[in-house]
Structures are given as structure tokens and as C-alpha cells.
Structure 1
Amino acid sequence: MSEHHIVDAHFHLWSLATHPWLTNVIARGKDGHIAGDFGPVAEYDVEKYVNEACPAGVTKAVHVEAVWPGDPVGETRWLEEISRKNSRGFPHGIVAHCDLSSPNVEAILLEHSKYPRVKGIRQLLDYHPKRNNLQQAPHDNYLTNPVWQKGIGLLEKYNFSFDLHVVSYQMERASEVMRMYPNVQFIVDHNGLPVDRDEEGIKLWKEGMRLLSQHSNVAVKLSGMAMLDRLWNAESIKPFLLHSIEMFGAEKCMFASNFPVDKVNADYATLVGAVKQTIGHLSARDQSCILATTAERIYKL
């Protein structure tokens, strides 16, 4: 593996003009988002991303939906145009949005499938019972809703993966959905969002990740650690990353920056350096899986 070959499995592009929800988040300052003050990262275009990611060794990246208003395919069209216009081709893959409980879910998936960079779908499901900054879904009933579950099943038809954005309290139900649809590839976002760091919270996260890891059709993104802990450092994130690697295996783990969200509390080079430091004891093959090849394989880059 080239020292400089990294695939970023999760980043966002946005602006106040394209993603107006940012206005409300910024207005609340450091309390607007779990990561902190979004003011400095409200305008984040592909040039800014490339200037930060490429010097750190990133050669390919996957853009994940960022709550585009209105038309569920609007963000996909916007990103395809961005990719065509920049010389490096970022983003190389797109995880698009679709409400899988929508009555016109198949029409939305069909439209997404017309764009070659769309590799998967995400619908934010996180609904923490005690933290309103991790209640991005309007309710906590999707995972057990037969209509929504049928939408998950449609992903196989279009060869789309599903980015799973849930907290520990939801993982048992998510595991059942994975069992129901063994031919759909699931990717757990942000290391399973281990936000509760007391003994009970860590135990619940570990048990949830164990349940998810038992399925052959699931992978996990080693990401979001600077989002969940504003005072993070390489040592503080190490046990969480290593536990996921132990549970899932390196061939099911992938590095992701979650920029510009994690940029609130980290610069790109430091983030990459911390991950490399954490996995430095692993074999060259396992390091390559985590830094590049797992994402390339699963997202078909």
C-alpha cells in the first residue's frame, strides 16, 4: 500500500445557500450541534475539502447526504456536477438521501440509480432517548415499521448499500433488520456513535456493536470521534477504534473523516495521524483495508 493512499468514506459539502438548516445550527453557537460551533464550517466547498484531504494522502472520497431541502435527488444532481467539474473527480461516490417509508420510495431510488456515483442511501435514524442533539430522526419507529423495512429491501434491487446512523439504544432493532435483509450491505456510521462515556453507556455501546458485528453484511466507519468528544486526542479515541476493529475485523472497517463536522475540533492531518497511530501495530494488509480498500470494495469506487 502506498503511504499516501487513503480513501475517505464519509465527508460533506454544503453552504448556507444549499443547506439552509445550517443557519439554525449556527445561531445556537457551541450548543447548535454535538460537535460545537458550526460557524467556521458553514461554507465548505470541494476546493476546501481537496486542499485539506489530499495533502493528507486522500485519493478518493465518498460524500454522504447532508439533509438537502425538498427534492430528495437535488443533492445528487448537485454533487454529480461538482464531481464532473473538478479535476480530481471528488466526490467519487455518493451516499444519497431517501426516506424509505415514503410512498414514492421506488421512484426516488430509480432516479438516484441514474447517476453513476450513487453507491448507497442514508436516512438519519438516530434517536437518543436522553440527548436531543442526537435525535435527528423525527421519531424512533422506523426500524420496526414494516413499510420502512420494505424500503430497505428495495435497496438490493438497485444494488445500493445503506448507511446506518443509530445510537446504542437502537442497535438491537437494527441487528434484526440486518438479519431480515442479508443481501443488503449496511455500513455503521461514526463507529456506532459512542457518545455516552460512563460505564453503563460504554457497556451498551459494546453490546450493540457486538450484535451488529455478527452479521456478514455489515461494515463500520471509524469516524466521528472528534465530533462526539470536543476534547479528543489520539489516546482517548484509541479504545473505541480498537474495539470496533476487534469486533468487525479490519476488512469491515474503513477510515472516514466526517469533515467538515469533525473539523470543528480537529484538523485533517491530525485526525489521519491519530488513526494511523492507533492502527500502526496491525499488519500492512489490515492497515490498507482500514485506510482504503474496505471503502473501495464496499462503495465500488
Structure 2
Amino acid sequence: MSLTVSRHIPVRPDWLATCRDDPLDPDLPIVDPHHHLWDRPDSRYLADDLRADIDGSGHRILATVYVECHAMYREGGDPLERPLGEVAFAAGVGELAEAEGGNTALCRGVVGTLDLSAGDRVRPLLEAAVAVGQGRLRGLRCSSVHHPDPTAHGSMLNVPPGLLGSAAFRAGFAHLAPLGLSFDAWMYHTQLADAAELADAFTDTPIILNHVGGPIGIGPYAGRRDAVFADWRAALREVARRPNVAVKLGGLGMRLFGFDLHAGERAPGSEAVAAAWRPYVETAIEAFGPDRAMFESNFPVDKGSCGYGVLWNAFKRIAAGCSAAEKRALFADTAARVYRLGISV
């Protein structure tokens, strides 16, 4: 696995300040099932930053789920154990937030990572992750993003091909379900068959497909949006036939998707964001249904394209034609159920 320089769109606070939407339907309960926290040389986004985005948005965010981002690893020691530091960090954020009170349960759930290619050696590591997770660990994410063309890379990672189908990886993966853990899958649309095959092999393991399945809009796919959309839609529908797979509706603010929302002199409002993202979100909802689909912020990554309040307003505009029950599922119920958050929404 190679880790390259950041490919995220830079966050520009002054630019984001040029646009602010008043919150639509501010009483609608929301569970944000995908955000990150980190402290990097070129970027800082910690609990106080997330809290400021949530509180400033005017939306009713009940709880959040932290998803691994190669942050806060242990230093030294066994490389296989280093990711336990991230689980402990995120769980600590959640414990502190709970002690402080407030309207949002930050890091109510935690998705960590471990090298599942360690096979059966991963079992004690998983048990250690559950322990340091203080009751908050819900699953793992092992990114499998790969493309042979570097210009198509929309992630900091480029993983060797075939990870999800390797015997070593699947030997480690087999230990998730017995411990009650789910799996977050992050890949490009060209790899979606891997997700379908994994779901078929492990029907008792919940799999959550990240970022609507990653349709690439950069590099060799730039200027080919219609063709990519058709290929992605067919592959996504095939994955959706597996009942143990759910999908996250978001991540569309990443450079990967090839949108230019970040290129204007002023930050976009929710109408512009909704117009750009609607075809992908509606297609994913149609394929999976509201009971297996959940809106996500993917902050701070998507913050390069729009503000937190604008993002949730855009999702609310896209879902405007849904019934009250469907909205409740898409914005809160599905995430709370899939990640076993134990909250009443």
C-alpha cells in the first residue's frame, strides 16, 4: 500500500464564509455516520472544529460516527498494533464529549482499521481494538482503492489490486462477524465487483459501501461523466442486490468526483450543491432503498467544496420528495441501526 501526498481540496475558511444557508427543516434528526478527525502538518480538524461546524450549521445532529483516516497511530512497537492508537483516540473523544454533555454525541460509534491481511493473527488485535474502543468500536475500514493510472487517484492511498479477494485478507475478515463488527468498504467504481464478491462470501457481515461507490471523474475519466455514470450505476445496482450491503450517500465533495464547486469565487449554496450531486444520490437511494442508505458529511474532506450547513441543506433538498419515514431513515434511522448506536431518533 502506498500513501501519497494529500489529494484533498484545501479548506478555505474565508471562502466558505462567503455563503451561508439558513438550515432547512432544522428539527429533522440527523446522525452523521462518516467524519474524520486529525492533526496533520498541513491540516487540523479535531473535536472542537467538528463541534463548531455542527453548532454553526443549525442542523440537529444527534450523533456522529468516526471513521479511520490513518490518524493518531501508536508510535513504535508492532506495526500491526499501531492503528489501535486511532481507535483509542476516537473513543476518548466520544467519552469526553459524553461527559461534557451537549446536543451531539460525538464519536458515538468508531470505525477503526487493522491489517486484515494478517489472517488469523488479527483475532487478538480485534479483541484489543474492542477493549480500547470502550464500547464504541463498531467495525473496521480497510481501504482497497486502486487504479493503475495515478491521475485517477482520488485518495491518499493506492492499494495493490485484489485486496478484498486475497486468501489472507479473507482469513482476517472472517473474524469480524463473530465479534459483532461490520466492515466499511472504500473503493473506486471500477472495483465494485470486489464488494459484491466479498458480500457473497460473508453474508453474515454487514458491509457499508463508502461514498456512493466512488465514481471517478478525474484523470482518464474527466469529460466522460455520462459513460462513467452508466458504468457506475450498473455496478452499484449489482452490489445493491446483496442484502448485507448498505451505502453512504456523500463524499461527493472530494476531488475524485471531478466537480468544480470549489472553483468559484464564492462558496456554493445548497441549491448548486444539490444540483450537482442529485443524480448520484438519487440513483444510490433507488438501488438500496432508504433502509440501506444513509447521508454522510465526510468532513473535513468535503469541506473543501462546501460548508457543513450547506451540505446538509443540499441533502435535504435532494430528499425533498421523500416521505417523512424515508427522510427519517436516510438522515438518522439507517445509520443508527447499521452502526448499532443505541440511540432513539
Within 2, Cα distance between the matches of 1:15 and 1:138? 23
1:121 aligns with 2:124: no
Q: Give 1:99's match in structure 2, choosing from 97, 115, 120.
A: 115
Alpha carbons 1:94, 1:120 under 8 Å: kept: yes
Alpha-carbon distance, 1:112 to partner: 1.3
Alpha-carbon distance, 1:80 to partner: 1.6
Deviations 1:139-176 (A, max 9, x none): 11212201101222211011111001011111112201
Counterparts in 2 of 1:1-301, with a 5 A limit? 3-16=27-40, 23=41, 26=42, 42-54=43-55, 55-68=58-71, 69-70=73-74, 71-86=82-97, 87=100, 88=102, 89-103=105-119, 104-114=121-131, 115=133, 116-130=135-149, 131-134=152-155, 136-196=157-217, 197-227=224-254, 228=257, 229-231=259-261, 233-301=273-341
Deviations 1:21-54 (A, max 9, x none): xx4xx4xxxxxxxxxxxxxxx1111111112124
Alpha-carbon distance, 1:2 to partner: 8.0
Secondary structure of the residue aligned to 1:199 is helix
Secondary structure of the residue aligned to 2:44 is coil
Within 2, Cα distance between the matches of 1:291 and 1:129? 35
Within 2, Cα distance between the matches of 1:283 and 1:246? 14
Secondary structure of the residue aligned to 1:43 is strand
Within 1, Cα distance between the matches of 2:113 and 2:337? 21
Could you tell me which amino acid in structure 1 is paired with residue 280 of structure 2? Answer: F
Within 1, Cα distance between the matches of 2:91 and 2:327? 30
Using a 3 Å threshold, how does the CA distance of structure 1 residues 2 and 273 change in structure 2: closer, same or farther? closer
Could you tell me which amino acid in structure 2 is paired with residue 257 of structure 1? Answer: S
- For these two proteins, the number of residue pairs brought into alignment is 278
Alpha carbons 2:27, 2:59 under 8 Å: kept: no
Deviations 1:195-247 (A, max 9, x none): 23523211221111011100010100001111133426211110110000000
Within 1, Cα distance between the matches of 2:54 and 2:317? 18
Alpha-carbon distance, 1:134 to partner: 3.8
Within 1, Cα distance between the matches of 2:231 and 2:156? 18
Alpha-carbon distance, 1:138 to partner: 2.8
**Structure 1 length as normaliser, TM-score?**
0.88
Alpha carbons 2:182, 2:205 under 8 Å: kept: yes
Question: Could you say which structure has the larger radius of gyration?
Answer: 2
**Structure 2 length as normaliser, TM-score?**
0.77
Aligned residues: CA RMSD: 1.7
Q: Percent identity?
A: 28
Q: Which runs of 5+ in 2 are unaligned?
A: 1-24, 75-81, 218-223, 262-271
Within 1, Cα distance between the matches of 2:60 and 2:108? 15
Alpha-carbon distance, 1:137 to partner: 3.7
Could you tell me which amino acid in structure 2 is paired with residue 219 of structure 1? Answer: A
Could you tell me which amino acid in structure 1 is paired with residue 340 of structure 2? Answer: K
